[in-house]
Every structure is written in C-alpha cells, then in structure tokens.
C-alpha cells in the first residue's frame, strides 16, 4: 500500500525481505523496520546494520 502511494511522489521506497540493507541506502535514507513478531532475525539484522552505519531508523 505505501509503495503505491509513495510511487506517485519523489520519495523512493524499497521493501526488503532479506538480511541486508540495499546498496541504495545511505546517510540520507530513513530505514523503517517492521515485524509481526517483533524479533525476526531479518528485521533485527537490518536494524543492526542501520545502527552500525549511523543511518536514521524507525522500528
């Protein structure tokens, strides 16, 4: 849903269903983390990667 809304704006959005941040993420990005259970390894790995690189994130 968010992807379809934001695709009509000048905001780039990627949905990641893996363990690594995409190469397009940089210090100007905002990393938004969600998980149904709150502790899936993929979500935690992405969050840790964002924190290590001092990227802004919401979880």
> pLDDT (tens digit, 9 = 90+) per residue, 2-11?
556 556 667 7
Residue-wise pLDDT for 16-29, tens only, equals 888 999 888 999 99
pLDDT at 30 over 60: yes
How confident is the model at residue 5, as a pLDDT?
A: 59
Give yes or no for a contact between 35 and 10, defined as CB atoms under 8 angstroms apart: no
- Dihedral angle at the C-alpha atoms of 49, 26, 3, 42, nearest 10 degrees? -10
């Amino acid at each position: 849903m968010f992807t379809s809304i934001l695709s009509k704006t000048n905001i780039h959005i990627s949905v990641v269903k893996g363990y690594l941040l995409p190469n397009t993420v940089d210090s100007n990005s905002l990393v938004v983390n969600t998980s149904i259970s709150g502790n899936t390894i993929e979500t935690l790995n992405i969050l840790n990667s964002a924190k290590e690189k001092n990227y802004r994130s919401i979880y």
